[in-house]
Every structure is written in C-alpha cells, then in structure tokens.
Amino acid sequence: METRQSEISIPNNNISTKIITIICWLIVLCTIIPLFMIAPYNYPAADDYSFSINTHQAWEKTHSLIPVLQEACEMVKEKYYHWQGTYSAIFLMALQPSLFGVHAYTWVPFIIIISLILSYLWFLKILIMDICNGSRYTYLTVCACLLIPTLLFPVNGVEAFYWYNGSIFYGFYFACSLILLGCILKSSLANHKLIYNIICIFLSLFIGGGNFSTGLTLPLIIITTSIFAFIHKKKIPTAAYLSVLFLTIGLCINIIAPGNEIRQANYPDTPNPIIAIIKSIFTGGKDLIHWIKIPELIVFLILSPFVYQTAKKSSFQFKYPLLISIISFGIYCAMYTPPFFAMNNEGPGRLVNIIKYSFFWLLLINLFYYCGYFCRRTTIFHNSIWINKIKVFINKYPVLVYLTITIALGSTLFRSASSTHNAVEILQNGDAKQYGKEMKERYLLYQNSDKEIIVKPLSVKPSLLFITDITNDKNHWINQNIALYFNKEYIISQ
C-alpha cells in the first residue's frame, strides 16, 4: 500500500491543475478590474507637468509627433545638465499621456499594470517551461500567484499604478528588467541569438538611463547567476556579457551627468558608502519582516506544490541553499543603497514598491531552491506517509481543494490594505467620481482664456488617485509648472 501511495502525484496537466490555474487567474482578473475602473478619474500632478511643458506646447501648436519628440530630446539635454542624468526616463517623462489630451491620462494604470503582467509572463515562461521543464499550468499558476501580491499590496498604490511620472520611472523599468533577464535566458536557448543580443543591448542602455536601484542591482543579478553557471560548467550566453557591459555604459552616462551634482546639493547630509550599506541592511530586514503577512503566506503556500514539482523535474543539484539565501538578501538590500547614499533615506514609495516586487521574486527563487534541496537530499518528500496522504486527499476531494484555494486567495482582495479594496471603496463611496468631477472643472478653467486662475480646494483626496496638489502660493514650484504648462500667469488654490 505504501508503495502505491509513493507513486501518487498531482499530474501536471490534469483537470485539477487546470481548474486551480483558472481560479488563480480569475483572482488576478478580480484584482485588476477595480484598478482599471477608477482609471477614468485619474489626472496628472506635479512632475507630470514640469517634465512635459515644452512637449505639450509643441503638440498644441503642431499636433505632430516629430516636434514633440524633438522637444522630448531637448528636455533630456536640459535635465541632464541641470537636474539629473536619467536620460531614458526623462524622455519618457516628457511624453506623459495627458499632453495629447487630458483623457489620455486614463491609460496610465493600463500601461503600468499590463507591462508588469506581460513581463511576469515572459520571464516565468522562460524560467519555468524552457529552463526547468515545468508544465504550462505550473507556469501560469506561479505567475498568477506572484502577480496577486504585486498588484494587491504595493507600498504606495498611487505611485505604483496611477501617477505617470513615478510609476513609469520605477514600475515600468522593473518590468523592463524582467524582460531583459528573460531575453538573456532565451538567447541561450534560441537559434536566432543575434536578435536577442540586439534586444539585450537596447534594453541595457535603456535601463541604465533609469533609476539607480534597478540599474545597479541588475548587473549584480546577471554577474551572480553567471558565476553560478560557470561553477556548474554551464555556458554563459553572450547576451549576459553584453548586458553587463551596456548596463555599465548606460549607468556611467547617467552618473556623470552634471545635473546630478546640482540636484545633490539639495541633500547635504548624506552618509558615506559604508554607512549607506549598513542602513540598507537594517532597513531591508525591517521591511522584510513587515511584508511577510498572512496574505503573502497564503499565496506562497498555494504555489508551493507547483514550485516543488518544477524543482523536482529540473536538472539542478541545489547544493547551496544557505548561500542562495545570503546572496538574495544582499541583492534585496542593495536596492536600498542608492537612495540612502543620495538622500539618507529609503526613498519614496514608488521606489520601495519595486523593492517589494523584487522581494517577492527572491522569495520565489528561494522557495524553488529549498524545495529542490530537500527533494534531492531527503526521502521525506518521496516516502513520507503524511505527504502521500495529502496527495491522496487532493485527488479524492478536488472540489474542497478548489473551494479552499478560492476562499484563501479571494480573502486577500478584501483586506483593507489592498489596492483593490481601496479602489472598490472609493468607487462605492463616490470619492473617485467626485475627485474626477472636481479635477475636470479645474481643467475647464485651465483651458479658458483667463491668465490668472484661482481654483477651489479639492473636497476629496482618494488615496489611489491623489498624490499632491497646488497651493495658495503662486511661486510654489507645482503652481509655477502648471501655470507654464497651460500658458497662464499664475494658478493658485483658494
């Protein structure tokens, strides 16, 4: 009887696995629908205006893309010498959607959320199916389970999905980094390596011109995995060398910008590199403990059997689990170091968002590695009676398993801290609609012929849509930039 039980497993492509996959993706769908439903009430703010004043004026004058792109390039040059060296990010910031019409700003959460979903699908498909020989349903289930905490529990929801300037600078670049890593892995498997090498060069230069936390951490990840590949006598793809080289070139162009020194003058009391690293480690540890809560544990508990199956089928030997955990923690903490070194703090919510995303990814990798380690080195997962009883139970009572998974995952949607809960709440209480109505009224004033504009204060400030506002001081930088954007003498709030 025990021999028969030891042979029982959860098939990768049976009806049970398919249903679990469908359930997980229905939860993802339930997560994003409310996030998209509040998108029509989304409006630009703060740096959305300051980076797109000239591109907006070019569009208003010509309604042609060529002058707009020329002005975007001029903005890159101006900011490079007078504010910051993030050349590719500034180019994108200068093209914020509302310069083509305020209703285009509705598309911001669609751009960010869809880019995250596609990048997760791309990278996990290559990692699980192509590299680890996992099944399609395992890949899709793991992807859904990883997307759920990413979309539900950002540190700052408005800066994660709705504020273009912040979300494009961090969330979009995080998605691009996953696409780059996927291309590096794909280049080692594909016949058309040249295409992937070219894509890797472009993405590396692009990411190197973005935020430092992504740009500096990505080479560490590529170099670390390349070292492991070398130790295990695996061929390192040319794309890995090219990516590190061009990421370094892009970062150097970014770092040496004269504007960085001007901006850095606003932060006189910054620590030396050693202190910045120490602060990064302590802050990383603190946030790590704070981020491991019941919803996250539920998600990773549900995907564990799928990760185990993938680890069991893979050809890796899983010799160094503790080393993997130490390296993972080091990479995770390294993302905090640039803001501590530059500003003496962990950075704004939009930056910490992508650190939290990275934490979920590193947690998944560690789960995979430890599953593989115990699978290779102990008999508990092969001959244990209680493991076999669980397998028998799952096969005997699949409906109960589906119901449990649905309730467990579904319960995460209704936590007060979740972005989906907040979106539903501001839809139900009318705050989103009222905010959109008041912002629309402001835009009608901005677009009239008066040169001096006084607007009413906002009566509601929904947490997922509102980030900051103009003041009653016409010389405040936000007021000045909005006035320049709409060609007014001044704009103030009562």
Q: What are the tens digits of pLDDT across the range 106-125?
A: 999 999 999 999 999 999 99
| Residues 15/18/24/27 CA torsion (nearest 10 deg) | -80
- Note the pLDDT tens digit of each residue in 192-217: 789 999 999 999 999 999 999 999 99
Q: Are 110 and 194 in contact (CB under 8 A)?
A: no
Q: Are 5 and 388 in contact (CB under 8 A)?
A: yes
With CA atoms as reference, report the closest residue to 58 among 45, 66, 67. Answer: 67
Identify the pLDDT of residue 382: 54
Identify the pLDDT of residue 6: 38
Dihedrals phi, psi of 461, to nearest 5 degrees: -135, 80
Identify the pLDDT of residue 391: 58
Between 161 and 11, the higher pLDDT residue: 161
**Within 10 Å of residue 119's Cβ, how many Cβ atoms?**
20
Identify the pLDDT of residue 152: 92
Lowest mean pLDDT among 17-31, 72-86, 474-488: 17-31
3 state DSSP class of 466: coil
Q: Could you tell me what percent of the chain has a pLDDT over 90?
A: 65
Mean pLDDT, residues 135-153: 92
- Note the pLDDT tens digit of each residue in 295-329: 788 888 878 888 888 888 877 788 888 999 999 99
Largest Cα span, the chain: 86
CB neighbours of 491 closer than 8 A, spacing ≥ 6?
Answer: 446, 453, 454, 455, 470, 474, 479, 482, 483
3 state DSSP class of 455: strand
- Note the pLDDT tens digit of each residue in 367-380: 999 888 887 776 55
Q: Confidence band (pLDDT; 50, 70, 90) for 265? A: confident
Lowest mean pLDDT among 322-326, 387-391, 435-439: 387-391
Identify the pLDDT of residue 485: 94
Identify the pLDDT of residue 459: 94
Identify the pLDDT of residue 434: 96
Cα–Cα distance, 21 to 458 (Å, whole number): 43
Please give the mean pLDDT across all residues of the chain: 88
Q: Are 54 and 121 in contact (CB under 8 A)?
A: no
Residue 42 confidence (pLDDT) above 50:
yes
Cα–Cα distance, 12 to 405 (Å, whole number): 17
Residue 133 confidence (pLDDT) above 70:
yes
CB neighbours of 197 closer than 8 A, spacing ≥ 6?
Answer: 187, 238, 239, 242
**Within 10 Å of residue 317's Cβ, how many Cβ atoms?**
11
Identify the pLDDT of residue 5: 38
Count how many residues are written for the chain: 494
Lowest mean pLDDT among 274-278, 352-356, 396-400: 396-400
Residue 1 confidence (pLDDT) above 50:
no
Mean pLDDT, residues 245-261: 94
Q: Long-range contacts for 404-410 (Cβ within 8 Å, ≥24 apart)?
A: 405/20, 405/23, 405/24, 405/302, 406/23, 406/27, 408/298, 408/302, 409/23, 409/24, 409/27, 409/148, 409/298, 409/299, 409/302, 410/27, 410/30
Identify the pLDDT of residue 40: 96
Identify the pLDDT of residue 301: 81
Lowest mean pLDDT among 180-189, 196-205, 260-269: 260-269
Q: Are 473 and 168 in contact (CB under 8 A)?
A: no
The secondary structure of residue 493, as a DSSP letter, is E
Q: Are 299 and 409 in contact (CB under 8 A)?
A: yes
Between 19 and 15, the higher pLDDT residue: 19
**Maximum mean pLDDT: which of 222-236, 239-253, 341-355:** 239-253
Mean pLDDT, residues 466-483: 93
Q: Confidence band (pLDDT; 50, 70, 90) for 218? A: very high
Identify the pLDDT of residue 396: 59
Q: Confidence band (pLDDT; 50, 70, 90) for 263? A: confident
Identify the pLDDT of residue 380: 53
Between 403 and 376, the higher pLDDT residue: 376
Mean pLDDT, residues 52-76: 95
- Note the pLDDT tens digit of each residue in 449-474: 889 999 999 999 998 999 999 999 99
With CA atoms as reference, report the closest residue to 328 among 376, 364, 292. Answer: 364
pTM for the full predicted model? 0.91
Beta bridge partners, 453, equal 491
